[in-house]
Homo-oligomer: A and B are copies of this chain.
Amino acid sequence: MSDEKFKISQKILHNSPVRKNRYRDYWCGNISKKNIGNKIKLSGWVQKRRDLGNIIFIDLRDRTGMVQVVFDSDISKESHRLSKKLRSEYVITVEGKIRQRPDESVNYELRTGEVEVISEKLEILNESKTPPFLIKDDIEIDEKLRFKYRYLDFRRPIILKTFIFRDQIIKAVREFLMGQGFVEVETPILAKSTPEGARDYLVPSRVHKGSFYALPQSPQLFKQILMISGFERYFQIAKVFRDEDVRANRQPEHTQIDIEMSFVDVEDIFKLNEEMLKYLFEKCLGIELKTPFERKKYSKVIDMYGTDKPDLRFGLHIVDVTEELYSTDFQIFRKVIKKKGKVIGINVRGAAKKFTRKKLDELSEVAKNLGAMGIFWIIIKELGEIQSPIVKYLKDVEKNTILNKFEAKAGDLLILMADSSDKASTILGQIRLYLADKLSLIPKNTYKILWVYDFPLFEWEEEKNRYQPMHHPFTSPNEETIKFLKTNPLKVRSKHYDLVLNGSEIAGGSIRINNSNLQKEVFRILGHEQKEIEDNFGFLLKAFEYGAPPHGGIAYGFDRLVTELLQKKYIRDVIAFPKTQKATCLLTGAPDEVTKEQLEELNIKIIKNKN
C-alpha cells in the first residue's frame, strides 16, 4: 500500500488538538527536537520493552505514532521499579522530560527517533495479556484471527488511517453535494417488503402480529417520494441490506451514497457525478481527473470487453472475426457460426515471445475452466509468417483478413475462441483479465473511469418464462425505443447508466419513470397482477398522480468505491466490523439464538428440521 494515499490521514492525526488533561498534554508521535527540555505527559500503549538492568526502554504508542521512553533508576527509582512490570500493550501514563538521543542511538525510521522521554513518573492504567499477534503494519495474519481480535488488529497504524481515509471520502462527497444544494434526508430502515424483495431481511412486528418490516435493499421508493415532494436535490449516506449468499466481495449490509435530482436528464446526472468525482479525487488523492469521462454504450462494451464493467487500464480489446470466417472450412468455427455463435479474439500485442507452449497450455486450461470448449492461438512471426495449430485449416484470404482486422504485427499473439454469442464474450472477457494480470499490464495508481449507458430495459428470464427488469422496474425507457414497449419489449433500451472504475461497478442509476400509466405498463409487462401492483406500489402510483417531476439519480456502493480508491482487494478491508461469507460476526458471534420469550412476544416459532 502506497503511503501516498494516507498522507492526509497522517496529517489529521498529527494535527488533532491534544485536549490536555490528567492523562496527557502531548501526542507521542508529535514530539521532536523542538521539544527538547520540555516536561510532558503522555498516555498510550507499550509497543515493546528492552530491559538493560538499571535502564529500561520502551516504545510508547498512541494513535499519532511512537516515542521512546527511558526508565533510569538514577533519575526515578520508583518509575524504574514499576517499569519492570511493563509488557507489550500495557496502557500507561508517563511524565518526564524530553532529551536528545545520543547520535549512535538515533532511529531514523521513527518520526520521533532523534529524541526520547526520561520518565519521572509512571502510572500503569491497565495490563495486557500477550497479544496473539504483533501490533505492526507489515505482517501476515490469518484473517479469522484478525477479525476475532479486531481490537488488536485495529491497533495497527494502517487500519486507523484506512478509516480516516474512508471518512475523508464521505466528507468530500458531503461538501460537494451540500455545496450544490443537496439535502441529506434519512429514510427508514424499518421499511416495507416488496415482491422484488426475495432477498429482503425481515423484521417481525411485535405490535402487528404476523406482519413484518423489511430492511431496505435501497431507499429507492423513498427517494422517488422525496422528488415528488419537491426536494429537487436529495442525497443520503445510507445503510442498505441484501440477504444473498455472500460472495467473496459482498456484505449483508453495506453503505450507499444515494443521490437523486429533479428536472434532469441523463446528461445532467453525468455532469454532476463527474464534478463530484473530480472534487473527490483532487481532495483525497491529489489526482486531477479529466472530464467528461469516457462513455460507451452497453452493447459496445460487451462486444469490446465481454463485460459491462470493463477495466480500461489496459488494452486487449476483443475483435469479432465471425464475418471474416463466414465461409471457412475449419469445422469448429463453421459449426459455431452456423448456430449463430461467433468467433472472437484478442491481439496480445508483442506477447508472442512471452508465451511459451507451456503457458499457452495453461491459458487453454483456464479457458476450459471458465467453460470454453477451447482456445486457438496464432503467433505472428517475423515477415508475416504465422504459427498456429489451426493455420492449416485457414484459407490464405481468411488469414489475411483476420490479421488485418486484428492489426497484427510481427511478435503479436492472437487468442481466438468460438462459442455462442454471450458465452464467447463472457469467457473471453475473463481471459482478457487473466492475460492482463499474467503480463502485468495493469499500472498501479491509475484510475480509469467509464460511463456505460444504453442498457436494455428488460431481459428474458428463461426459467420463469417472463420478462424481468435488467435493473429495476422504475427505470425509464429512452425516448427512441419506447415505441417497442407493446410490440417487442426486448428492443426497448433504458435510461440506466453504470459508472465503472478500474473494472469495478462503483455506481449505477437511472432516470426514473414519473408517470403512473407508463409505470403500470411496465409492471404489466413484468407480469404483475393488478392487485399485486396496487398492494405493493399503490402509494407510489398514487403519488405520480399529483405532479411528479422528471427525476433520476445514482447510487454508489460506497464500500466498493473506497476499496477501489485504496486499490484493496476486498470490501471487508474497508469495513470496521465486516461479516464472514456465512454472514457471521466473528467478534460478537451474531447471529445468535434468542430466548423463547422473545419469540413468543413476536408471535413466531422456529420450524424444527424434519430430520
Chain A interface residues toward B at CB < 8 A? 12-13, 15-17, 19, 21-24, 43, 45, 61-63, 89-91, 93, 125-129, 131, 149-155, 160, 163-164, 167, 170-171, 174, 178, 180-181, 183-193, 197-198, 200-215, 221-222, 225-226, 228-233, 239, 241, 243, 245, 252-253, 255, 263-265, 267-268, 271-272, 514-515, 539, 543-550, 575-577, 579, 582-585, 587-594, 598, 600, 602-607, 609
Q: Is the CB of A45 within 8 A of B150?
A: no
Q: Is the CB of A212 within 8 A of B263?
A: no
Q: Is the CB of A181 within 8 A of B15?
A: yes
- Chain B CB count within 10 A is highest, among A89, A197, A207, A548, for A207
Q: Known interface pairs A45-B547, A190-B253. Does A17 touch B180 (Cβ–Cβ under 8 Å)?
A: yes
CA separation between A52 and B212, bound complex, in Å?
Answer: 54
Q: Which chain B residues lie closer than 8 Å to A24 at the CB level?
A: 263
- Chain B CB count within 10 A is highest, among A90, A575, A590, for A590
Listed A/B pairs (25) with beta-carbon separation below 8 Å: A13-B181, A15-B181, A17-B180, A24-B263, A91-B548, A126-B514, A126-B550, A127-B545, A151-B225, A155-B229, A155-B230, A174-B174, A187-B576, A188-B579, A189-B241, A190-B201, A190-B252, A190-B590, A193-B590, A193-B598, A203-B215, A206-B243, A209-B606, A211-B593, A604-B605
Smallest CB separation, A484 vs chain B (Å): 23
Chain copies in the assembled complex: 2
Q: Which 3 A-B pairs have the closest CB atoms?
A: A16-B181, A154-B229, A192-B590
Closest to A130 in B: B546
Q: Which chain B residues lie closer than 8 Å to A19 at the CB level?
A: 180, 268, 271-272
CA separation between A591 and B545, bound complex, in Å?
Answer: 24
Q: A63-B232, A212-B593, A222-B577 are known contacts; what are 13 more A-B pairs with Cβ within 8 Å?
A: A19-B268, A63-B230, A150-B225, A152-B229, A188-B590, A189-B189, A190-B583, A192-B585, A202-B203, A205-B583, A207-B583, A222-B576, A604-B605
Q: Is the CB of A202 within 8 A of B204?
A: yes
Q: Is the CB of B547 within 8 A of A187?
A: no
